């Protein structure tokens, strides 16, 4: 089997120094669709260096870090990228992210689960600078065809959609070239750019990065529910329930209360097909 669970989990954590500056933050925000309208004061806090605030989901790309693709080169893991899908993502913020800095990112395979027809790798990254911890990030990676060895199935927590109308609903269009721009922040998986590779993975055309829809959703929550204050976000998690294509539109429904915002995200043009599920933003 190309995945050796015991070897992967037992491997020594890998540490690397990462750095970023305002240009990296601005590029990331633009990759999420920020800057429309270009002169809107609410958008300038994502695009203009003199007013810049850092959306917490930037932690998934800061300094490239271990990254999803990088984590798949850990000891005990030898798999085909065409069999890989990002299953879920969580971030815990220990304090607001600076617009630029240096940190040490420590990454490891925290767990390997057996889902029968697939294996799930949990890739954990923790970052800290000279002032202390910044964030902890977990990426859950589905590897099709690599399950069935009788291992632990792992957690399967679900977050039912509230039985009431959402407190807010917004729609966010995905530009045709958005995946090409977003990948400049460090996720070079050809699934999001190369039509031939996308076909090998079973898709008619390249799909948007799950982490791009993840960032777009957090921006919508911050702008709509949290008054544009990125520093209020404490944690953010989701399960990638389906794909979305460049050129489509995300419908983002939000239910707020008690320091948390529950979110459901669907693709408008495909009869509200699920995109993000079990999605929760915890805030101050």
Q: Where are the beta strands (DSSP E) in 67-197?
A: 84-93, 101-114, 118-129, 132-144, 168-173
What's the confidence (pLDDT) of residue 70? Answer: 57
Report the alpha-carbon angle 101-106-69, nearest 5: 95
Give residue 95's pLDDT. 97
In this predicted structure, what is the pLDDT of residue 1? 56
| 15 bridge partner residues | 106
Nearest to 235, CA basis, from 20, 57, 97, 54: 57
Radius of gyration of the chain (CA): 18
Classify residue 140 as exposed, middle or buried by CB count within 10 Å of its CB (0-12, 13-18, 19+).
buried
Tens-binned pLDDT, residue by residue, of the chain (284 aa): 578 888 989 999 989 999 999 999 999 999 999 999 999 999 999 999 999 999 999 999 998 754 555 567 778 888 876 677 789 999 999 999 999 999 999 999 999 999 999 999 999 999 999 999 999 999 999 898 888 898 999 988 799 999 999 999 999 999 999 999 999 999 888 999 999 999 988 899 999 999 999 999 999 999 999 999 999 999 999 999 999 999 999 999 999 999 999 999 999 999 999 999 999 999 99
pLDDT at 69: 55
The Cα–Cα gap between 89 and 75 comes to: 22
Give the active site residues.
187, 192
């Amino acid at each position: 089997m190309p995945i050796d669970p015991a070897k992967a989990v037992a491997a020594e954590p890998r540490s690397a120094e990462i750095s970023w500056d305002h240009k990296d933050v601005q590029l990331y925000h633009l990759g999420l669709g920020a800057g429309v309208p270009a002169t809107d004061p609410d958008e300038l806090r994502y695009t203009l260096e003199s007013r810049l605030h850092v959306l917490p989901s930037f932690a998934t790309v800061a300094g490239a870090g271990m990254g999803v693709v990088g984590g798949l080169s850990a000891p005990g893991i030898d798999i085909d990228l065409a069999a890989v899908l990002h299953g879920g993502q969580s971030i815990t913020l220990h304090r607001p992210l600076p617009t630029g800095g240096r940190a040490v990112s420590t990454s490891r395979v925290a767990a390997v689960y057996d889902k029968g027809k697939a294996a799930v790798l949990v890739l954990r990254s923790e970052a800290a600078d000279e002032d202390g911890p910044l964030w902890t990030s977990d990426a859950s990676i589905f590897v099709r065809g690599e399950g069935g060895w009788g291992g632990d199935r792992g957690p399967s927590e679900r977050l039912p959609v509230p039985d009431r109308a959402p407190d807010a609903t917004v729609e966010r269009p995905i530009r045709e070239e958005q995946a090409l721009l977003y990948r400049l922040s460090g996720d070079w998986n050809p699934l999001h750019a190369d039509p031939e590779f996308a076909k090998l993975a079973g898709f008619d055309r390249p799909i948007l990065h799950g982490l791009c829809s993840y960032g777009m959703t957090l921006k919508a929550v911050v702008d709509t529910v949290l008054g544009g204050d990125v520093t209020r976000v404490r944690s953010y998690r989701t399960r990638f329930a389906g794909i979305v294509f460049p050129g489509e539109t995300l419908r983002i429904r939000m239910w707020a209360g008690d320091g948390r915002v529950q979110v459901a995200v669907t693709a408008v043009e495909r009869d509200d097909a699920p995109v993000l599920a079990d999605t929760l933003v915890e805030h101050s």
